[in-house]
Copies of this chain bind each other. A is one copy, B any other.
Amino acid sequence: MHSQADKFVIYNTLTRKKETFTPAHSPHAGLYVCGPTVYSSPHLGHARGAITYDVLFRYLKHLGYHVRYVRNITDVGHLEDEVEGAGEDRIQKRARIERLEPMELVQQNINRYNESMRLLNVLPPGIEPHASGHIIEQQQLAQKILDSGYGYVVNGSVYFDVMKYNRDYQYGKLSGRKVEDLMSNTRQLEGQQEKKSPLDFALWKKASPEHLMHWPSPWSEGFPGWHIECSAMSMKYLGENFDIHGGGMDLLFPHHECEIAQTVAAQGRESVRYWMHNNMITIKGQKMARSLNNFITLDELFSGSNPLLQKAYNPMAVRFFILLAHYRSTLDFSNEALQSAEKGLSRLMKAVNVLHNIHSSDKSTVDISKLEGDCYAAVNDDMNTPVMISHLFEGVKIINSVKEGKEKLSGSDIEKLKELYTLFINEILGLEEEKKEQKGIVTEKLIDDLLELRIKAKQRNDFETADRIRLILKEAGVIVRDKKDGFEWEFE
């Protein structure tokens, strides 16, 4: 295990405190994260969640843990009104509009999500279970809750009895809400009358005739409630007591609150040891939301095709933009902020390039020993990436001073800095040099231009320049062959 392992502290939403991370079964660490409901294209909010837990995943691995990272895919049961658990299934509704089989819509959006994650350099989780692929496990958990007396069956649907649970345990401990306050804020919706209390939520819903996605069950032909998938799948793959459960702050209530209630009702105690929540992305201070029409998908961000965007943004700039805020703070989108992130990342990456080309001196005139400790201290402090990045920029100043001859670095200090930047920039923050696909390609035009320059040099008998051009092209992988009536070239 890495020497920093016992210094890593994370904020536990449940205890409202920063706590040292100590896994239940070290060196193993279990991580479950709520993934996307795949009814539409992934957007900037999806990127924030995925990147937050990607950094956590990377850092836990760096610390020496064997991490089992599970991120689910919600492809059934997430209804339009998620607080009341009412309305049409989101997947089904969109599939109906787009005239697709629901699973075709699901696959399309999974493919889009995976492609965006690849571009954002988000490592794939170890397991990506689908809700629709774990119907039996969800039914088994619902049955356990029925057996323990915290669920009831009405008209083929199974509901969780929040009032009864609240008498024996405390409902609302994660979000800090009280059942009495919640009750005074609920409205009685049409079709919800079969529930004993408006706070009760479905573990299994009987399917109406127009519902496309349904399976047999002991209670009815139906489909699982939204909350039960995460309880069922996290326990299936990580056990009844696992380390970290993460997700967006918008899932804290009711989704995660209900997960806790389900688990406690089924097995008498909680399964999650640390709850983590990343904050939202806002735009001009307002929550980014489809309904407010201030929504930017990742595809749009990477291509610039949204009226809110002044230009296309490179995925690495987007990743850096997200890492420039602490994951528990809101992050406001603006073109200015993204462009500033873009410039900052470019300055950082250039300094790393400079670092690989500067000359060493016998002795260093600056002290770089503090830098490593500062970077570790920042990431250990509840993954404080903005502070870590500010330390990395202190190093940039040093590098540039050395380049300009104002300071000196010894060979061993240069090596140390290189290792440090590789570790924190590439391995932990997951930032890579911008892909060269978009720029810096030897186009045929460049080659033709250079060959024309070569002809002109020959014409004025400047054979040295002509030969030199041929050699330069050769070293760039372009073979030039002189022929009677000109020349031809090809890539090696």
A209 at the A/B interface (Cβ < 8 Å)?
A: no
- Given contacts A135-B136, A436-B441, A453-B469, is CB(A125)–CB(B101) below 8 Å? no
Give the interface centre of A436, A445, A456, A462 by most chain B CB atoms within 10 Å: A436
B237 with A440: CB separation less than 8 A: no
* With A130-B133, A133-B132: A237-B453 Cβ-Cβ less than 8 Å: no
Pair A103/B237 contact, Cβ less than 8 Å: yes
The minimal Cβ–Cβ distance linking A445 to chain B, given in whole angstroms, is 7
Residues of B contacting A440 with CB < 8 Å?
441-442, 476-478, 491
Q: Which chain B residue lies CB-closest to A128?
A: B107
Per the bound structure, the CA–CA distance linking A129 and B103 in Å amounts to 8
Nearest CB on B from A223, distance (A): 12
Q: Does A420 sit within 8 A of B, measured CB to CB?
A: no
Check if B68 sits within 8 Å of A476, measured CB to CB. Answer: no
Chain A stretch 224-273: residues in CB contact (< 8 A) with chain B? 237
Which chain B residues border A456 with CB–CB below 8 Å?
Answer: 465
- When distances are taken between beta carbons in the complex, the residues of chain B under 8 Å from A133 are 130, 132-134
Apart from A130-B130, A440-B442, A440-B477, what 17 extra A-B contacts exist at CB < 8 Å? A101-B126, A103-B129, A103-B237, A104-B127, A107-B126, A107-B127, A133-B134, A136-B215, A353-B444, A437-B437, A440-B476, A443-B476, A446-B475, A449-B472, A449-B475, A453-B469, A462-B462
- Most B C-beta atoms less than 10 A away, residue of A114, A440, A462: A440
B442–A465 contact, CB under 8 A? Answer: no
Say yes or no: is A111 at the interface (Cβ < 8 Å to chain B): yes
Q: A107: which of B124, B468, B491 is its contact (CB, 8 Å)?
A: B124
A412 at the B interface (CB under 8 A): no
Q: Are A107 and B125 in contact (CB under 8 A)?
A: yes
Residue A140 interfacial (CB < 8 Å): yes
Residue of B at shortest CB range from A136? B215
* A492 interfacial by beta-carbon distance below 8 Å: yes
Q: A490 CB to closest chain B CB, in angstroms?
A: 8
A490 to B439, CA, bound (A): 11
Q: What 3 A-B pairs are tightest by C-beta distance, nearest first?
A: A133-B133, A440-B442, A446-B476
Interface residues of A (CB under 8 A from B): 68, 101, 103-104, 106-108, 111, 114, 124-130, 132-136, 140, 215-216, 237, 350, 353, 436-437, 439-446, 449-450, 453, 456-457, 462, 465, 468-469, 472, 475-478, 490-492
- Chain B residues with CB under 8 A of A68: 101, 104
With both chains docked as a complex, state the minimum distance between the C-beta of A116 and any C-beta of chain B, in angstroms: 14
What is the bound-complex CA distance between A111 and B115, given in angstroms? 12
Complex Cα distance, B398 from A215, in Å, reads 60
Q: What's the minimum C-beta distance from A171 to chain B, rounded to whole angstroms? A: 30
| Pick from B111, B128, B472: contact of A453, CB under 8 Å | B472
Report if A442-B437 is in contact (Cβ < 8 Å); known contacts: A101-B68, A453-B468, A465-B453: no
Given A439-B492, A446-B476, A472-B450, A103-B127 contact (CB < 8 Å):
yes
Closest to A446 in B: B476
Question: How many Å from the CB of A267 to the closest CB on chain B?
Answer: 18
Tell me, in angstroms, the Cα distance from A436 to B124 when the chains sit together: 25
Chain B residues, CB < 8 A from A132: 133
Point out the residues of chain B lying under 8 angstroms from A127, CB to CB: 101, 103-104, 106-107
Q: How far is the CB of A118 from chain B (nearest CB, A)?
A: 8
A63 to chain B, nearest CB (A): 20
Set of chain B residues within 8 Å of A215, measured between Cβ atoms:
136
